[in-house]
Structure 1
């Protein structure tokens, strides 16, 4: 289990940069999201192993407690057997006491070893969780960078069309729109000028007609 956790730890600690240096990769954020999901899944599974290891430790401790109780019980029974002078009971109690003492030694060693292993696993487990947190911070950083790049590209598309290959697109840039508005304004001014001239000519014509009528009168 320790070796497996170590491999998982190395997997999570793998350098992320080379994943995004590949030119063929078009969406590093999606890659990172998938990587984080996989790491979270591995960490969740590791947590279950830790829970199982802790449960085993509790069972060993419970077994040791029962062994101690039986050892104490047989010790008291041995005293009674010695008082009664019944040798077969004495031999049985002594044999039982020895068995419980040996079992207690085995259980204590197992519990100590289990405690050391559990502590080591818990440390690695916490490191894995911290690594995921670090990757999520990295995720936010990359998302911020991606957002800035997209924003710059969009602004460059408008402000500097010559660099984006869209210089011929109609109304795609501020400059194009300004030129369009200027032409539209000139057209409107011309139409207004023509209309004004027509009005003046009409008024002049009306005045002339009125004057001619007055002269005839």
Structure 2
């Protein structure tokens, strides 16, 4: 193995290793890149299908033109024969044979072009289906990645050192809400008791006044 080949292989290995690391770090990003590459390939095939269709149309036009010219020369050859114009008859017959041969050759080419077009269209449709499957796969992976990220965040909050602080904050908040509820209840009970006592005092005062007047 030459030095140049070893250097080239080493560079290629480093490049693929870098890609592998990038893929492990951000698989969705790499998948997006793969999808973009696939989209470009699908677009290339679409253009080839389009060109093949144009080529098929051109063959059909050439066949039609050659067939018309062949019929024209055949008719002219008949007229020249009836008029005993041997030179014109010979020329017309030769032209007829050439156009007829051209039309037959074009028909063979058209059949081949049509078969190739059918094959290309089938491959193109297959590529589109695969690309669609990859889009769906990306959606599935994104969904799983979201769940994984959420679970990772939850676990980090609840289990890590930072989670101890977060858990402590949750506990403090719960304690605060409990104290607040207790204060509200106490205030309610206190105001209720105060109202009841005030009512009793008023009733007692009225009774005393009534008793004094009656005495």
TM-score of the alignment, normalized to the shorter chain, above 0.5: yes
- Report the counterpart of residue 128 of structure 2 in structure 1: 129
- Report the counterpart of residue 143 of structure 2 in structure 1: 144
Q: How far does residue 41 in structure 1 lie from its aligned partner after superposition?
A: 1.3
Aligned ranges for residues 68-107 of structure 1 at < 5 Å?
68-107=67-106
Aligned with 2:162 (options 162, 166, 189): 166
CA gap of 1:177–1:86, structure 2 versus 1, over 3 A, is: same
Aligned with 1:178 (options 171, 185, 207): 171
| Counterpart secondary structure, 2:25 | coil
CA gap of 1:167–1:137, structure 2 versus 1, over 3 A, is: closer
Segments ≥4 residues shifted beyond 6 Å? none
CA gap of 1:83–1:183, structure 2 versus 1, over 3 A, is: closer
CA–CA separation in structure 2 for the residues paired with 1:32 and 1:142: 10
CA–CA separation in structure 2 for the residues paired with 1:183 and 1:74: 106
CA gap of 1:77–1:155, structure 2 versus 1, over 3 A, is: same
- The answer to whether the aligner puts 1:50 opposite 2:49 as a matched pair is yes
Matched residue pairs, number? Answer: 164
CA–CA separation in structure 2 for the residues paired with 1:43 and 1:183: 61
- Report the counterpart of residue 195 of structure 1 in structure 2: none
Structure 1 vs Structure 2 CA RMSD: 2.6
Q: How far does residue 45 in structure 1 lie from its aligned partner after superposition?
A: 1.6
Unaligned runs of 5+ in 1: 1-21, 190-217
- Report the counterpart of residue 33 of structure 1 in structure 2: 32
Q: How far does residue 155 in structure 1 lie from its aligned partner after superposition?
A: 1.8
CA–CA separation in structure 1 for the residues paired with 2:72 and 2:132: 53
- Report the counterpart of residue 15 of structure 1 in structure 2: none
Contact 2:156–2:163 (8 Å) recurs in 1:
no
1:24-69 deviations in Å (ceiling 9; x for gaps): 6211111111111111111112111111111011001000000110
CA–CA separation in structure 2 for the residues paired with 1:139 and 1:47: 23
Larger helix fraction of residues:
2
Contact 2:66–2:102 (8 Å) recurs in 1:
yes
Q: How far does residue 183 in structure 1 lie from its aligned partner after superposition?
A: 8.7
CA gap of 1:152–1:167, structure 2 versus 1, over 3 A, is: closer
- Report the counterpart of residue 152 of structure 2 in structure 1: 153
